Structure formats: C-alpha cells, structure tokens
Amino acid sequence: MSYVQNVLNGLIAKNQGQAEFIQAATEVLTTIEPCVAANPAYEKAALLERLVEPERQIMFRVPWIDDKGNVQVNRGFRVQFNSAIGPYKGGLRFHPSVNLSIIKFLGFEQIFKNSLTTLPIGGGKGGSDFDPKGKSDNEVMRFCQSFMTELYRHIGADTDVPAGDIGVGGREVAYMYGQYKRITGLYEGVLTGKGLTFGGSLVRTEATGYGLVYLVQEMLQAAGDSFEGKTVVISGAGNVAVYAAYKATQLGAKVVSLSDSTGYIYDKDGVDLAYVEDLKFNKRGRLSEYKNHKPSAEYHDGKGVWNIPCDIALPCATQNELTEADAKTLVANGCKAVGEGANMPSTLEAIDVFLKNKVLFAPAKAANAGGVATSALEMSQNSARLSWTFDEVDAKLHGIMVSIYNNMASAAKEYGVEGNFVAGANIAGFLKVAEAMMAQGIV
C-alpha cells in the first residue's frame, strides 16, 4: 500500500464522523501522491501524519444573553492547523451547521491556500454554531464579545490572525476587535477585515470575489478566451458572490443568477447588483424580494441554480453545494469554465465530471485565495502603520492571482497532469509547506 493511502486509512479510522475533513484530506492527499512518491524523505519524517493533525484545537463555551433576558449557550472553535510558514491565518464562520469537522476541513484547506498566495501565513480556522440571522445588533454584539472573551488568549498579531467567513462580516469583526482591544489593551492587527477607520485595508471587502474573477480570467486567457459576452451563473448572495458578480460584469460578462439558502433568482437581462448589495448587506433581506423590485425576473424556492444554462459557473455559497448531477447538467448546457469562490463547493464526484469533460476548473484553494491574500496585505499595512490606496492594493491582488494561476499551471505540467488545476494547486501549495516542515525538524 502506498504511503499516502496508508496515511489516509489512518486518518479515516481516527476521525470517524468528520465527513467534510475526510473529504478535504482525501482530495489533497490523493492529488499530491506523485510528488510525495518522488520524495521518500517525507515518509521517514512522518510528514503527512504530522500535516493532517492540527497543531492545536480549541473548543469553548460561549454564553450570552438575548434581548428577552434568556441565557443562550453556543460552542466556539479555533483550529490552529499549521504554522510552518507563518502565523495561523483563516476566517471565523458563524453558522448553525458549524462543527469540528467543518472547521478542520476549512483549516486544512487554508494551509495550502495560504501557501499558494506566496505570502508568509500559516493555516487556521474557527467559528461558532451561532446564527447571526434574525438577531438584533445588540445580540450580535453580546455574542461577539463573549466569543472574544475566550478567543483573545489564543490569538495575536504574530501568532494567529482570524478574519471573516460565512456569517462574519464587517459588523462582527468590529465587535470582536473592540472586545480584544478592551481586554488586552493592544491596538494591533489581530483581526483582518476591519473597518477602514481602525486599520482595515481598502479592497478587503471585494477581494475574494475580485480575486476569483482575476484567476478565472487568467485561466480563460490561457485557453484563448475571456469573460467578454459570457453568461455567468453565480450561487450565493454574500460577500464573495456579490463582488465576483461586479467584477465579471466589469469584464463584459452578464451575471444572470444569484442564490441564498432559501432560493435563487434568474434575471435574463443581468442581475441588478446594486439592489442586491443593498438588500443583503444593509437591509439583511432575502433574495425572494428581488421580484418586487424587478417583476420580469424569476425567483425559485430551493436549490436548482445550476440548471440555468451558462458559459461560466461560479459557486460562491457553501461546501458541497454542487453535486455530480449538477456538474452533468452544467456540462450538458455547454458550461466551459468553473471557478470555486466558496470553499469545497463541488463534491469529489462533481470535480471528476468537470475534469473528464475538459471543463476549465479552478479549485477553491487557488480561486478564492484573494481574500486571505488581501488580509495578509492588511497585516503588512498594520505592521508598517501605513495604508495603501485602492488601486495599489487591487494591483497587488491582481498580481498575486496571476502568480497563483502560473504556479498551479506549471506544477500540474511538471507532475504530468497538465490542465488539472486541482492537482496543480495542491502540489504547489504543499511543496512550500513540506519544505519548511522538513527544515524545521520534528515539531
């Protein structure tokens, strides 16, 4: 049995019930096999066994009081997965589905994504099963303060720097930052995604969506194509989805759909993005209201966004939202390129369908790395006590996405899987971390 298979079997036996973590580890380990086989020293140093075990996993109680005076208790998580190439870095997710398996899968992915950005950041992730939806601002504030009252002792500008993710936007980051500063007395870049008046970076809000489109643009260009005149289907209506939609539109494409957890809209004339941005981020409303604004558009309850014919699909909502059947439908409808804005949105079977049908496929690790890359740029600005202009940060983001594309494309070529960017991204991300871990000894 190969070294990789042996490690995977051990991981599956040891992490029963952690389906998402096992899925993410399987994808990475099976695709890096050629490069692991070429370096027998890795096995001797038990490199993979160490790589799949988080350096530290923290779980804690988060008690808070709701507006009716009732005591609520949620569970908090921070998984500090790997610090070989820099301080732990990765977002916080607040969503009722959050559990240890989901945080571990996200933290594991983050190691390779952060390595791919070419910046010195390790991998981590955290969050809570708290649901900010339907809560008042005061309830969200009390929750965030309680969450940070435990988390503060585990993080710091040079140890672990969390950011946003699903359910954690500017409002939540600001409440957590306020509490961190109040407890520690430190005014430091301990969180990214901060407001512009207290150390935030321009472009951070737009970065993941913009970066996704920059990377897909690079992939299309290498195949002699572009966004110009293309029909684009996007899932999600949050931070990643909305700014990906703006950038794709700027590049000449027409975005005809967005979705949320209750349904999706189809607007054949192109979605009114300014309306959706205001509806979701300011009014915290539902996409079902879009029809009141534009009666010519369609709203459908439930899943089904992938049935809409398109040239380019950008899944930007959540994990495993695009199944094998969805992938087959997209291929049958002529979809030519897929870029993953969300983390692990496509199942392993869906990815197989794309690769077999020669659909250009940009995996999340590479495609959505623009968010964390810009977070690292926020850290640099905080350390230097400087702030760069929008155009400066945007140009750096664009340059990073081009490098990521080039690195994953050339790693795929070098290891004999040209055009397979899943393998290319995993190998390119893995090699840097592996080299650092080998150099640092058995730790």
Question: In the complex, which residues of this chain contact ligand NDP (CB under 6 A)?
Answer: 164-167, 208, 236-241, 260-262, 316-318, 341-343, 368, 371
Closest CB 155 distance from ligand NDP, rounded Å: 18
User: Contact 94/54 with Cβ under 8 angstroms?
Assistant: no
Of the pair 202, 317, the CB lying nearest ligand NDP is at 317
Question: 89 φ, ψ to 5°?
Answer: -150, 135
Closest CB 116 distance from ligand NDP, rounded Å: 12
Of the pair 184, 249, the CB lying nearest ligand NDP is at 249
Closest CB 162 distance from ligand NDP, rounded Å: 12
Q: DSSP letter at 70?
A: -
- C-alpha distance from residue 194 to each of 67, 198, 277 (Å): 26, 7, 19
User: Contact 125/154 with Cβ under 8 angstroms?
Assistant: no
Closest CB 207 distance from ligand NDP, rounded Å: 7
- C-alpha distance from residue 316 to each of 142, 339, 404 (Å): 29, 9, 19
What's the token pair of residue 290?
């879009």
- C-alpha distance from residue 183 to each of 140, 170, 340, 394 (Å): 18, 20, 38, 34
Closest CB 20 distance from ligand NDP, rounded Å: 11
Q: Which residues contact 181 (CB under 8 A, 6 or more apart)?
A: 187
Q: Which of 406, 251, 319, 393 shows the shortest CA–CA distance to 106?
A: 319
Distance, CA of 159 to CA of 145 (rounded, Å): 20
The catalytic position among 104, 113, 125, 247 is: 125
Residue nearest to ligand NDP (CB): 238
Which run of H or of E encompasses 255? Answer: strand 254-259
What's the token pair of residue 372?
């964390």
Distance, CA of 45 to CA of 235 (rounded, Å): 42
Question: 295 φ, ψ to 5°?
Answer: -60, -20
Closest CB 212 distance from ligand NDP, rounded Å: 9
DSSP letters along 180-205, please? HHHHH---S--SSS--GGGT--TTHH
Give the residue carrying structure tokens 């079902």.
288
Question: 366 φ, ψ to 5°?
Answer: -90, -45
Of the pair 163, 437, the CB lying nearest ligand NDP is at 163
Closest CB 243 distance from ligand NDP, rounded Å: 9
Question: 3-class DSSP state for residue 307?
Answer: helix
Q: Which residues contact 423 (CB under 8 A, 6 or more apart)?
A: 31, 32, 411, 412, 415, 417
Closest CB 205 distance from ligand NDP, rounded Å: 9
Distance, CA of 114 to CA of 3 (rounded, Å): 25
Strands (E), 290-388: 298-301, 312-315, 337-339, 360-362
Of the pair 252, 302, the CB lying nearest ligand NDP is at 302
Of the pair 166, 393, the CB lying nearest ligand NDP is at 166
Of the pair 8, 166, the CB lying nearest ligand NDP is at 166
Of the pair 126, 164, the CB lying nearest ligand NDP is at 164
Q: What would you report as the CA-atom Rg of the chain, rounded to the nearest whole angstrom? A: 21
Of the pair 47, 240, the CB lying nearest ligand NDP is at 240
Closest CB 42 distance from ligand NDP, rounded Å: 28
User: Which residue type does 33 have?
Assistant: E
Of the pair 199, 236, the CB lying nearest ligand NDP is at 236
Task: Tell me if residue 396 is catalytic.
Answer: no
Q: Which of 129, 161, 159, 133 shows the shortest CA–CA distance to 147?
A: 129
Q: Tell me which residues are annotated as active site.
A: 125
